Amino acid sequence: GENVEQHPSTLSVQEGDSAVIKCTYSDSASNYFPWYKQELGKRPQLIIDIRSNVGEKKDQRIAVTLNKTAKHFSLHITETQPEDSAVYFCAASGYSTLTFGKGTMLLVSP
């Protein structure tokens, strides 16, 4: 089955800095890669996703890049703000279920 590794487990940045979270996956058949944000005590919510026919996707301050050859994808957050503090999960799927990484706790200090 699919295996998704996510790094780092914790990331601390100063407000205004950039943050990068990286994930690798094992199944070359995976073709959908979403990112979820989970604030403390709340449900995970989709923030951005990318499909295998696209190398990069941007939405305001967040972007995701995908390297299918290397089987890794990354989340980039620019100009971080305190409200970006949360746990971020990457995931991968082929034509069945989502497999999630273990999460990255992002702490943005004012």
Partner 1 sequence: DGGITQSPKYLFRKEGQNVTLSCEQNLNHDAMYWYRQDPGQGLRLIYYSQIVNDFQKGDIAEGYSVSREKKESFPLTVTSAQKNPTAFYLCASQAGANTEAFFGQGTRLTVV
Does the protein bind partner 1 through residue 7 (CB under 8 A)?
Answer: no
Query: Would you say 64 and 48 are in contact if contact means Cβ atoms under 8 Å apart?
Result: yes
Q: Residue holding tokens 């989970």?
A: 38
Evaluated on CA atoms 6, 8, 11, 13, the torsion sign reads: negative
Which amino acid, one-letter code, is at 50? I
**Nearer of residues 80 and 99 to partner 1, judged by Cβ:** 99
Among 7, 26, 42, 109, binds partner 1 (CB under 8 A): 42
Which residues make up the interface to partner 1 (CB under 8 A)?
1, 6, 9, 31-32, 34, 36, 42-46, 49, 51, 89, 93, 95-103
